[in-house]
Structure 1
Amino acid sequence: MSLSSSLYVGVSGLTASQNALNTTAHNLTNINTKGYTRQQVVMADFGYQKWGVDHISTLQKGLGVDIETVRQVRNMFFDKSYRTEVGRQGFYQTQYETVTEVESMFGEMEGVAFQKSLNDFWTSMQELSKQPGAIEVRANFLQDASSFLERAEKISNQLQEYQVNLNKRITAKVGEVNNIASQIHDLNQKISAYESNGLEHANDLRDARNNLLDELGGILNISYKENSNGVVTVLAEGMPLVTENETFKMEVAKVSDSSDLLKPVWSSFNQDVFRLDLPISTENNTDIGSLKGLLVSRGSDKANYTDIPVKPVRTATMTDAQYDAAMADYTNKVDDYNKNINVSVVMTVQAQFDQLIHGIVTSVNDIFCPNKEVTVGGKTFKVLDKENAPYGMDIPDYTQGEALFNRKSVSRYRDPDASDPIESLLPAGTKIYVEEDPNNVYSLFTVGEIEINPLISKNYSKLPLNAGAGTGGFDQKAAEKLLDLWQQPFLALSPNSLAVSKFKDYYTNFTGELATRGKELDSTSQNQASMVKYIDDKRQGIMGVSSDEELTNLIKYQHAYNASSRFITVIDQMMEHIVTKL
């Protein structure tokens, strides 16, 4: 080896050591930078010059050292696991936040609990049954009934407003996804251009892209892969989000023409981003992403008591075929309930709360103006039971058939249609009950469509509690029914619950079930947070910068630099000696 070529060997050592020192300094500088991946210098032989061959090996000399690459130290398995689990944490954390918001609406923790309105109404009902003729007792009963209804409407309105206001969070999340997708696409272009010479790696740009993928993984269920050009393509919920050449934007659209609720859609593919009809499970990875968590907890519509299936009761007149058909229809409705209502925190609360209000309102009404079924011309009608309905104290009318609670848009009773050949057969003065129609919200005794009967609120004496017109005696049976009302079996909270609650227990069970659901979601979220931290700690153990390790490398590369410098000095002295001696 000539002395001149030996100088190049020393220079290569200086250059490699200097670059290694720069990389080490870069690592130390970014030791506290979030998402920074430590960089590692990989050195390799620059090359060899062949001298010849002997019987043992090839005779060759080394030409120095070269930096093969400056690589990032990451573990792809931990990255993918982290992005999956942080998305799952976001899914459950979002739903838990919804539960806490809904719980606050009932005021159980703020001293304005709905339970108080419920108890006050029940207490005044007891007093009314004891002193039905006292005007002050009637006035107090009407006041508590009105307060009970107003408080129920306020909670219902808050639930609906919160449901609609979640549109803002959904829209913000969609905008965040689109922004991240654009940034990833821009970084793809920069990384591809930077690395096109095949000599360098755009490590800092890759760190920025990995941070965006971490963030995106918390919002959506994503999958991704990197091609040979350093470009990462991303699929979100199984559909292309970022490709080599473009990004596909998400948009928001109405759930239906009649709804104010919004949902994310792929405008380019003309389909929804999420398939909410699939069962939520970890096995199928359908419980990932805070955006989906928002949609699931919010639901797709406003729910009411008609959304809770009620198991049919077999009557003496039902045939086996009729009962089997009713049970089959009930089973289908239960499946729909579990798929569409029960998964949503807001819709479940709306339906169960409305079921309570509907039950109380209709039960009280049925005491003041009971109905019975009559069959005329082969057709069955539900009509006011005048034989058992109590009368008002209003002289001289002694009104009969006035309910405490009215529907705002639909009367409780209607007169027979004289033009109908069957209805015309009904006795004169018959009052036909206007049935509730699940397809017509205005016909339902649902929160928002109920009001205190204005005739009774203006004239307390119209409250029907007398046993007869002008007799002066009070209807003892009606009074007893009012007393027994709170102790009567009502309904189960849902078709998934076997326990049938009484009115006095229903609200307690309702709030207890909501609290239990919140605890389960919080527990799952906390477990996921622990899992995410464990994976991130493992990941940081590989990609994170250790000051001790980097300082060790700093000393190592300094010694290597000094050794190369000393090597060049020796070669220089040898060359000077040779030149001066010639």
Structure 2
Amino acid sequence: MLNILNVAQTGLKTSQTQVENVMNNLANEGTEGYKKRVVNVSELEHSDARITGRGVQIDDVSRATNIYMYQNLIKAESTLSNIDELGSMLADIESIFYETEDSGFSADLDRYFNSIENLRTSPQNEVYKNDVENNAKVIVANLQTLYKNIEDVETTTLSNIKENVGEINNILKEIGNISQKIIDTSSGTPNDLLDKRDLLEKELAKYIDVQISREDHYELSIAGVTAVRFDTNVREVTVIENYIPQKDVYAKLDNDGKTIVPFQDSLISDTWNDNPIAERQVIELSGTSTNAVVKFLGTNVPTTVGANATTMASDIETNKGTIIAEWNKEHPDREIDDITASGSQITITYVDIEGDVPAIDNDESNGIVFSGSIESPGGQKGEVDSLTFVYNNEISLTVTKGEKIYASDGVTQIDINNDGVIDAADTVDETNVLKAMMYKINQSQDIGGNIKVYNGDYHLADDGEKIPTNDSRHPKFDPSNPNKDRYLVIESTTGGEKGSFTGEFIVNDSNVKNHQTKNESLSNKGIDDIHLEIYEKEISLTGGSVKAMIDNVKTDSGSNIFNEYKDKLNQFAKTLSNLTDSYIENSDQTYVYGTDEVELSSEEDKKVLLNLFSGADVKSLKFNTASLNTLTQDKLDYLATLQWREEVNFDGTGLNNQTFSQFYQTLRVEVADNKENVDFSQGAQAAVTESMQNAYDKITKVDKDEEMIQLIKFQSAYEANAKMITIVDEMLATLLGMKR
């Protein structure tokens, strides 16, 4: 009978605990992160001869959860957070491209083309010229504003990454603190601490993708890299900003695909073997002198009053020594070799290394009229081997065979062979042209130190020093000829995308012009390498809001929407600059459009220069106001065709040709489509996440109705066990009464 009393007592205690647990669940129904508790019971072990058992015992109080569902839920929430963040960034971009019917870049572009049409009707109308200038400058300003606004979003995004990483590290530290408290708990199951840790895990998953192991020790990983190990060992997440400068290498690879064939060996030495051709220009004289002195090419030439054109031409030939000396002193890049007279014509022969020399303008002095010079009959155009570097489609630097390179003072000759001696070997030829070009670019005030040129690739020392090829510490140092021409490496002095530039070399060997662009396989773009690391190990995120941010500030992520839109704007700017720089009008009144096509044409000498816009991208784009005064009717007729030209090749592939307006509208449509697609993905992912949350909540959340049913059940069990104690008490009382 006492055994019955003992069994009932265990049941009474268990039922009491279960009722208390139900009340605790109901009290915490609205507590954030609370998971309902379950009292786990088991039968007491049989330790004697009783066959009916010894009653019930409480094992522990656990949380209702499902680890598999939980891990998948936080993964879904991480994915949703990534999509939400991407949608927010796209909304910012969409607002940048917002337009109304009368305002925005599209309307500004239409106004510019309309102003060209107006000027075309009256090329000398100053009002129309001003209208073109204003509208052109508005286009440039608005393109640059669009570009800057995208850059501003990038800057804000990078700032948000740093803030979020700060939050991530705070959460990780708190998880470590809670884990320590769990370890320090001496009695019972710390369910409240486990709930708090789960809540922190879910908050962390909004930023990044996490994986959790709860086997022997608690371990939390971020994208597969351990962030918390052995319960409390927390590793900090760091933001790494590595801005890699653009490096263009002008060299070829040998057939083995590995060995570099220097630019000099592969092209210069093969082509720079022709003798230069001296240019001759003819000037026609007319009129009669009204003074005993007539000025020609800046020099006073003595003559007689009343001298006719033939006599004047003869007087000029007689005094050519003085004329040539004074001219060459003032024009070192257009030096004259000889002046001869024939009737009323003067023939000027330039020094053969000067190449193609600009014509001399019309002039008049004391009754003698000098018509503008033209190339001599037979078309003897001065040509000489030269190498030209074009920077950002705007600045050109040329090195010519036979040229001497001077310092910025224009007097001090440069020892381009670095042998300590100024001699004939320092005159530019096929053996030192690359060093000469290197010096010119590096000293150019127009380029302003934005890039630095090396003769061959430098060796990067452990301390970051860039060791040139003529330094004995360089692995490929050649002691027999340390200063030889190798190949050109041009590197931006500003790291990352901000230091990006465009460069091209033009090799003119007197007979053919070759355009040489960088070797893509040897070169690298300017890269903003923004990523996260734990203990110097890079994290490759697959979810969370920070992933969306990293993808769109890391230029080589493959998912950078900011770069995608900036590239499109750069394509627009570069194409506008190219098509308004020069053209060729064919005999059938069609055109060769733009400098890129003109330079590939066999009739390049028919090129018509416009130079209306210049620049290689949005940042370098500018409108050249001075060119307005050179716009003739023919030039305006050409410019007018650009508005409706449907075969404009913006991306260089020739597969997506369209008009300027269509290109910009396509860009705006792409922005809207991308936003719409992300919104659709967000809706779908939100539905998936909500479904998983609901399924998980059914397991973990407190259900009032269910708890009330449990309360009735446990209350009944309590009453039943209490009744058993009462019955045993009555039975014992009866037995004691019988004894008496």
Same fold (TM over 0.5): yes
How many pairs are equivalent?
451
> In structure 2, do the counterparts of structure 1 residues 372 and 213 end up closer, same or farther at CA, with 3 Å as the change threshold?
closer
- 1:290-439 alignment to 2 at 5 Å? 290-300=545-555, 340=556, 343-366=559-582, 389=608, 403-406=611-614
Summarize deviations over 1:264-284 as a string: whole Å, max 9, x none.
Answer: 43252x23222xxxxxxxxxx
Amino acid at match of 1:42: N
Identity %: 20
Alignment correspondent of 2:622:
451
Shift of 1:382: 11
**Using the alignment, how far apart are the partners of 2:725 and 2:693 within structure 1?**
46
2:206 to 192, 204, 218: 218
> In structure 2, do the counterparts of structure 1 residues 529 and 546 end up closer, same or farther at CA, with 3 Å as the change threshold?
same
Alignment correspondent of 1:465:
631
- 1:124-273 alignment to 2 at 5 Å? 124-194=115-185, 197=187, 200-228=188-216, 231-244=217-230, 245-256=232-243, 258-259=495-496, 263-266=530-533, 268=535, 270-273=536-539
Shift of 1:48: 2.8
Shift of 1:85: 1.8
Partner-residue secondary structure (3-state), 2:582: helix
Shift of 1:254: 1.4
Which runs of 5 or more residues in structure 1 are unaligned?
52-58, 275-285, 301-339, 374-379, 390-400, 407-443, 457-461, 467-474
Shift of 1:480: 1.9
Summarize deviations over 1:68-118 as a string: whole Å, max 9, x none.
Answer: 222222122211211222222222222222211111112226974221222
CA contact (8 A) 1:298 1:344 kept: yes
Summarize deviations over 1:125-168 as a string: whole Å, max 9, x none.
Answer: 22122222211011011001111111111111111121112111
Alignment correspondent of 2:714:
557
Shift of 1:494: 5.5
Query: Greater helix share, 1 or 2?
Result: 1
Which runs of 5 or more residues in structure 2 are unaligned?
245-494, 499-527, 586-592
> In structure 2, do the counterparts of structure 1 residues 174 and 39 end up closer, same or farther at CA, with 3 Å as the change threshold?
same
Amino acid at match of 1:21: V
**Using the alignment, how far apart are the partners of 1:142 and 1:66 within structure 2?**
92
Partner-residue secondary structure (3-state), 1:139: helix
> In structure 2, do the counterparts of structure 1 residues 6 and 110 end up closer, same or farther at CA, with 3 Å as the change threshold?
farther
What is the aligned-residue RMSD (CA, Å)?
3.2
- 1:6-85 alignment to 2 at 5 Å? 6-51=4-49, 59-85=50-76
TM-score, normalization by structure 2: 0.56
Partner-residue secondary structure (3-state), 1:60: coil
> In structure 2, do the counterparts of structure 1 residues 33 and 498 end up closer, same or farther at CA, with 3 Å as the change threshold?
farther
Shift of 1:507: 0.7
CA contact (8 A) 2:531 2:554 kept: no
Alignment correspondent of 1:333:
none
Shift of 1:512: 1.0
> In structure 2, do the counterparts of structure 1 residues 571 and 464 end up closer, same or farther at CA, with 3 Å as the change threshold?
same
Given the alignment of the two structures, is residue 517 of structure 1 paired with residue 674 of structure 2, yes or no? yes
CA contact (8 A) 1:372 1:383 kept: no
> In structure 2, do the counterparts of structure 1 residues 341 and 447 end up closer, same or farther at CA, with 3 Å as the change threshold?
farther
Partner-residue secondary structure (3-state), 1:463: helix
Summarize deviations over 1:369-399 as a string: whole Å, max 9, x none.
Answer: 99879xxxxxx9999978653xxxxxxxxxx
Amino acid at match of 2:117: Q
Amino acid at match of 1:164: T
CA contact (8 A) 1:129 1:482 kept: no
> In structure 2, do the counterparts of structure 1 residues 89 and 160 end up closer, same or farther at CA, with 3 Å as the change threshold?
same
> In structure 2, do the counterparts of structure 1 residues 496 and 60 end up closer, same or farther at CA, with 3 Å as the change threshold?
farther
> In structure 2, do the counterparts of structure 1 residues 193 and 465 end up closer, same or farther at CA, with 3 Å as the change threshold?
same
CA contact (8 A) 2:19 2:715 kept: yes
1:532 to 666, 677, 689: 689
Summarize deviations over 1:34-63 as a string: whole Å, max 9, x none.
Answer: 332221122212233432xxxxxxx52432
**Using the alignment, how far apart are the partners of 1:497 and 1:387 within structure 2?**
25
**Using the alignment, how far apart are the partners of 2:701 and 2:654 within structure 1?**
50
Shift of 1:24: 0.7
**Using the alignment, how far apart are the partners of 2:690 and 2:594 within structure 1?**
62
1:99 to 74, 83, 90: 90
TM-score, normalization by structure 1: 0.71
CA contact (8 A) 2:41 2:60 kept: yes
**Using the alignment, how far apart are the partners of 1:46 and 1:512 within structure 2?**
72
Shift of 1:234: 0.9
Summarize deviations over 1:524-560 as a string: whole Å, max 9, x none.
Answer: 2221111111111111122122111100001111111
CA contact (8 A) 2:118 2:128 kept: yes
CA contact (8 A) 1:37 1:72 kept: yes
Partner-residue secondary structure (3-state), 2:630: coil
**Using the alignment, how far apart are the partners of 1:547 and 1:497 within structure 2?**
67
